[in-house]
Structure 1
Amino acid sequence: MKHNSLLMLFLTGILLSACVGATTKPEDYTTPSPAAVQQVSPGATQLITATMEQIEPEATATLPATEPPTPTAILPLTAPTQAILVTPAREALVIDHRSIELFDRIPEEYIQAAAGLRLLFRHASVGYNINEGLDCLMNKTQPRPYFCDAGIAPDQIVYDSKYNRSNWVFEFHAPPPGINPGWWDKLTLFVERVVNPQPGEEYDVYGFKFGYVDGIQGSAIDDEFFLTQPGGTYPNISALEELEARYPDKIFVYWTMGLARIVGTPDSQSFNQQMRQYALEHGKVLMDIADIESHTPDGDACFLSADMELEVICPDYTTEKEGGHLNALGSLRMAKAMWVLMARLAGWDGR
């Protein structure tokens, strides 16, 4: 019963902080149905219990100010005077649904090399699903948790201790109950985390992802994020460009926005299309989670309706009717995608 209460508190925090963070005015917010976030795998209860025992039940979310988040805007790291123009130093590396078939081809030496890379990745609940998928692929917990293989065909179940992801640190955007803040704060908190490491911390690869709730109807993310205006009202892509310029020996991974069953909107679609174009034009490393989630294991595309315009997560990867949290198969596919990504970053050519 204690785990159930904590889980409900955790989900309430996700709903409130996520939904209020996606638009600019609280009076425009519409709280999604509880079904949109009702599924979290049993493995999450351990983390929830450890991190939330000291939180009072009523402390579930913090409402934002009524105006756009000017106090949280990121100040330029180098005080540029004009928009940043980037010349690609390398060809873009994109990991999408077609990349997952490469997982079984990763040479042993590049599995070891990928495991040696130190990764810091920031996320909310779907990111935690991916984290669990990586642990399941590594067979980290004994006895093996039921949720690792639930619903997966026996011939598709795979795990091996060689997929050691111990150097890949996954952490929430912020401590509970604010693990899923507004999209602008996710970017701000990521930059601050990179610039201000803990004593003794050292990473080779950095990344963070927005969630599907950041693209709900009316979100400003697709209009504001790709504006190259350092020091603007909203933090934007300039902050990441400045971060890359400040740490040229580090690798920064960009992500498309995850998807849900019925939360697909023109805003999320626009953001993902712009992110793909941006990555290709600027030679970025891109994890296209939206493309992975919106294609079945056989490669068929999944759309919100017959108009075939808005990508949605395929029902193969979630048990939710409205939301987009990953089931065992969805977590496994994203774990495989992560290994392909890290092997490529470790030097594997993908052949």
Structure 2
Amino acid sequence: MMREDIQLAVVGAGPAGCTAALVAARELDVVLIERKSEIGSPVQCGGFLPEGGELESLLPRARLPEALKEIPKRFILHHTRLQRIYSPSGMSKEFAVAGRVLDRRAFDRHLASQAARAGARILPATRAALLEGGLELSGHYAGRLRPRMIIGADGPRSTVSRHMGNPVQEMGICLEYEMADVDIDSDAAEMFFSARYAPGGYAWIIPLGPDRANVGVGVRSSYLSGQRLPDILEGFVHDHPQAKEKLSSGEVLAVMRGLVPAGGSAGSIHKGNMILAGDAAGHVLASSGGGIPLAVVAGRIAGESAIEHLCSGKSLSEYSSRIGREFGRELERSVQIRKMVDVAMRSDRLINALFAALSPEQMKSVMRAQIPSPLSSREWSIK
């Protein structure tokens, strides 16, 4: 049983929480709490992360932590050099993107290990319930903590966010296979758009090597119309005109599930002595579902804000301002893009028309949460 006063409790040991704990533990007494028995497992992410130079173009105002720019080779499963996007008609367009495919189990545990070396105490297999004046812990570690400050980095269904009064926003729901013996282009991370095979989202093939890949679909429940996600993924693997040629003879090695916030920033990311970071805060690019870069940057800002607040008395309201300065514009634009594209997502005919209107470089700008001129036209305006 633990009963103690501490300076900072970080709830959630994903990239945002581990980064926050790592930064804050250099100056503060920090406890990092994770409900999963194993940090980084089960995997709930495709693992694709652009190289450092690409990230600087994606987030030009953000100060990128070394954890994003220089990832040890042992945590990188594969490198890609292209991104290829397919329309429902089967037409594809591609553009250069230098990417890394991470071993998310190893990467997340690496970040947690760094936080531990900096002085954070790690409490896996432990749930945290918020009560007046503290946290009630249950599971492997039990007791009550009275932190002066709490960072909620506890994922899309964040307990801390709900305690702050934020409504649960619409989620993308994802199902993914790790597959072997597939016939893929190992140089390209591929995305497939189709109202039939990926309603309200997209399907993907992310290479893990010459004949292995993460293959998944991410959709929104409002587009499912009674369909089951496992049936959608099976349909993509075995029936999609282009994907089945690459995948149908492969074997499934693992099945992974996850949720992705699809609505941008939570209503409030700061309240009282609590702040939110990563998926818990809606720090995910709604145009692509990419969350690792924003999570790590937000974790860094959260850790720095905790130090400034607890050591110097600086207001936590500055946290929201710093998030806005470093990647708020990209986050807001990604939601605008998602709403614009929503107009087309229910019809393959409209998806094909939008696809035809965008050049490969304009598609790349969309992935960077930039709005190209065809999306700004009246035809694709938000309805």
TM-score, length basis structure 1: 0.25
Q: Which has the higher helix share?
A: 1
Larger Rg: 2
TM-score, length basis structure 2: 0.24
Give the number of the structure with larger relative contact order, counting CA–CA contacts within 8 Å between residues 6 or more apart: 1
Q: Which has the higher strand share?
A: 2
